[in-house]
Chain A
Amino acid sequence: MKSSVIVFPGSNCDRDIAVALEKMQFKNQMVWHKDTKLPKSDLIVIPGGFSYGDYLRSGAIAGKSLIIDEVIKAANSGCLVLGICNGFQILTETGLLKGTLLRNKNLKFINKDVQIKTLNNETKFTNKYKKDQILKINIAHNEGNFFTDTKHLDELKKENLIAFKYCDENGNENQEANPNGSLENIAGILNAKKNILGMMPHPERMVDDIISNEDGINLFSSLLN
């Protein structure tokens, strides 16, 4: 499977995701933001970091960059797109995903391991997980507080477009287990065609037992499936 990781100035999880993809036997290449052509890819990843310093608004400038038009075209023609953290923020800025990511409720940057629950395991990104499987995954963000309008929220629920929700160790989706104030504990969502996933937690940080755990591996192996 061929993957492309888009590198913006200020991306800082680009190497991490590349390491994870290569470990999972993806044929990966890095694509510079000033490029105007996207190599043939089955998967496009928009990595975490602070693209363009997150100035103006997280993801806002990246959402208008040269390469992003190509990403939008590819996504609209069905290519798989994964946006992690800043990548999720960028996807909402492009309109490929609806909703937005507000400042964390406690107004602080949060880095810690949290539990998330796999709500929909029938997607290209999650088919190797069990339904409602609880994963322990690292988050690291300032603006991860997902918000959207009622109409979109209804659509997310009705169409089963919520991929992950924050929960406690027993799978309860309560406010204590909600690290950033996200609407209904939402941690990751899909578009209507389910070829685009945006998520705040970092699966690429969870593919190596010696530094964390291997809860992120199945996201990548799902894609290979």
Chain B
Amino acid sequence: MKITEQIIDKHGLKPEEYQSIKKLLKREPNLLELGIFSAMWNEHCSYKSSRIHLKKLPTKGKQVIQGPGENAGVIDIGDDDAIVFKIESHNHPSYIEPYQGAATGVGGILRDVFTMGARPIALLNSIHFGDPKHPKTKSLLNGVVSGIGGYGNCIGIPTVAGETKFNETYNENILVNAMAVGHAKKNKIFYSKAKGLNKSVVYVGSKTGRDGIHGASMASAEFDENSEEKKPTVQVGDPFTEKLLMEACLELMKDNSIISIQDMGAAGLTSSSVEMASKGSLGLELELNKVPCREDNMTPYEMMLSESQERMLIILEDGKEKKAKKIFDKWDLDFVVIGKTTNTNKLTLKFNNKVVGEIPIEALASKAPIYSRKWIKKKPCKNTIELKNLKKIKIEDALIKILSSPNHSNKTWVTNQYDQMVMCDTVQRSGSDAAIIRIHNKDKAIAVSVDSSANYCKSYPLTGGKQIVCENWRNLITVGAKPLAITNCLNFGNPENQEVMGEFAECLEGIKEACEFLNYPVVSGNVSFYNGTNKKNIFPTPVIGGVGLIKKLSKPLNHSFKETNSSLLLIGKTFGHLEQSCFLKENYSIDEGMPPEINLLNEKNNGENLLKLIDKNLILSSHDVSSGGLITALSEMSISSGYGAKILKPKKLTNLIKYLFGEDQARYIIEIKKNNSTKVEKILKDNDIYYENIGYTQRDFFEIESELKINVKDLFKINNEWYNTY
């Protein structure tokens, strides 16, 4: 078949990219080769627009065993334990087919984790939908939530934390980001780098079908009115097979049979084989007739580009085939030697005893295009909001509006659809600032949380980038965990748009600054560009997934008040920053102005010292103050516990609305026993930490001195209505 301009365009390749391909091959590619280039050179697999920016992120630290570049990041949590984790997007498929899109998102990220020798112990997700009033939102929400649950519940890994958000910016392009966390032995981590000549390349798992062909290319283009037609590019998930594959792989990993292993994710057999060969500076020869196929008459093109799920590629040590096959037979999975490693540095594909494609590995990997795209710096918005110009509002009404809004409503409608308890190590389930997972058979635990702040990132990406890292770090601190490292999922619009590229560059700069300052390195991640429809780009939405360590798990800490008549302290200074606040958005539909400033010095000092107080057993409950401000955070502590609180007005007060609803950063609320006050306050003073005594807990009523008094049961009702009536 002659390669025409039309065919090149259909493969998502630019004319100049096609010229580079010809140069690298020193000839015209055939259709199979063109397909392989398109799979490897698209944005999703090549990171061609993001790579130069990603390089700036801090990725090292004493706690880091493996940073970005492998299937997942690996960190050291002491003893012989390691935690393996990563987050990944499945936005485009989930919009087209919400159940399967979300399900296979979970399946894909799980494979990334167990490929490295880790048993997955927790799943998290960050899902963003359009305006609840948009006609598609309800079915997308239903589909995505049941897809996430459907996969995780069946495979038997608890889904323990996440966020569900709504904003009209996602009307035509929802976000589905899934994170998986696994536990491995430090000296038993498996990598994808191929080693040795003439080693067997083994295909294991499900058979290859015609599903998901060009999935990665789809994820690298904007949507338009014909997006529905892309349904066949969405893969279909089978969590049952993945469970078998996981158990079989983990069983095989017990000894030293495996040289390298790589899951077949985006761009399937193509990217897995190229990845292994390029890391090992080797060649790979595959006999495509041996690939287990689900359907008849599949062509090499289809086999190489299929994104059928639940498949792996393994390079085995000599003489281990029989033993390995026995394990896969036990689990009723395919196990076929489909090729071998070579010294040609080429990917050689044979079909019916003929070479049907041959490409130098480096042309697909290190020689793939890298773009330094133009970008524009965001100008700070000078507008400030003057409360006196706005219609007066009662504090009670404003609070009710926030607590009953889709973004702040209680999410048990979502989380009850996920098995959070299976594996019996979930110490803190979702609903708190972070989930806590015990390391099996040990008395230590990890805390995990995912966070995003798209409106902050939209209004000023540099601050927004810093803010999410800090919020994520705070969420781990409040449950008593020492934050160790993060993974990030960078959801942005079209990188060819200079404003979008600017948002990307500056969010990353913000993430970098915060991560460096907090010694909170990035160990894995994923970039998802082209989120938008018909030139309308989504808000920049970097999502941060953090992991922290609780060295000795005694009584788990969360944000629910524990008793009456204990003291409430607010750590961190309140300036009353209302721009970009949930107060203005929910009550006045105003989303102008700058996000709250980040002071990294205060973040670090406040966080680290709170952790000391927690270690000294002085804290009954703690909660970070974020979206919705102080009053929202306090009501959440009340609602989740059933206890009330009485909040006293501060003596020097400029404006109560600003005080209660302002979203200033680096703040925490802590509940302490009255007779521990002196001890706690001394530690705070000694460490130069700004704090205020704001009140105390009590029975039944949530109260702001001479302003508001609501029964906690009513607050609970207000907070629990939206999902159940949507």
Give A residues with C-beta under 8 Å from B.
9-10, 12-13, 15-16, 19-20, 34, 48-50, 52-55, 108-112, 138, 140, 142, 202, 204-205, 208, 210-212
Contact A109 B419 (CB under 8 A): yes
The docked-state distance in angstroms from the alpha carbon of A140 to that of B153 is: 9
Residue of A9, A19, A111 touching B421 (CB-CB under 8 A):
A111
Residue of B238, B243, B418 touching A111 (CB-CB under 8 A):
B418
Contact B417 A9 (CB under 8 A): no
Contact A208 B424 (CB under 8 A): yes
Residue of B149, B238, B424 touching A205 (CB-CB under 8 A):
B424
Chain B residue nearest to A14 (CB atoms) is B156
Contact B427 A111 (CB under 8 A): no
Chain B residue nearest to A12 (CB atoms) is B156
- Please give the distance in Å from B101's CB to the nearest CB on chain A: 18
Known: A52-B240, A53-B154, A140-B153. A110 touches B427 (CB 8 A): no
| Chain A residues with CB below 8 A from B420, complex form | 111
| Chain B residues with CB below 8 A from A19, complex form | 424
The docked-state distance in angstroms from the alpha carbon of A140 to that of B146 is: 14
| Chain B residues with CB below 8 A from A16, complex form | 422-424
The docked-state distance in angstroms from the alpha carbon of A138 to that of B330 is: 32
The docked-state distance in angstroms from the alpha carbon of A202 to that of B240 is: 21
> Interface residues of B, CB < 8 Å — how many?
33
Contact A12 B424 (CB under 8 A): no
| Chain B residues with CB below 8 A from A211, complex form | 421, 424-427, 438
The docked-state distance in angstroms from the alpha carbon of A188 to that of B574 is: 54
Known: A13-B156, A53-B154. A210 touches B553 (CB 8 A): yes
Contact A9 B419 (CB under 8 A): no
Residue of B238, B415, B419, B426 touching A53 (CB-CB under 8 A):
B238
Contact A9 B240 (CB under 8 A): yes
Known: A202-B421, A205-B424, A210-B553. A9 touches B416 (CB 8 A): no
Would you mind naming 24 contact pairs between A and B with Cβ atoms under 8 Å apart?
A9-B243, A13-B156, A19-B424, A20-B424, A53-B240, A108-B416, A109-B150, A109-B153, A109-B419, A111-B153, A111-B416, A111-B417, A111-B419, A111-B421, A112-B416, A138-B421, A140-B421, A140-B422, A202-B421, A204-B424, A210-B556, A211-B421, A211-B425, A211-B426
Contact with A along B120-151 (1 / 0, CB 8 A): 00000000000000000000000000100110
| Chain A residues with CB below 8 A from B244, complex form | 9-10
| Chain B residues with CB below 8 A from A50, complex form | 153-154, 156, 239-240, 243
Chain B residue nearest to A207 (CB atoms) is B424
Q: Does B18 contact A (CB under 8 A)?
A: no
| Chain B residues with CB below 8 A from A109, complex form | 146, 149-150, 153, 417-419
- Please give the distance in Å from B554's CB to the nearest CB on chain A: 9
| Chain A residues with CB below 8 A from B416, complex form | 108, 110-112
The docked-state distance in angstroms from the alpha carbon of A111 to that of B420 is: 7
- Name 15 extra pairs, CB < 8 A, besides A16-B423, A210-B553: A12-B422, A15-B423, A16-B424, A50-B154, A50-B156, A52-B240, A53-B238, A53-B239, A109-B149, A110-B417, A111-B417, A138-B421, A142-B153, A205-B424, A208-B424
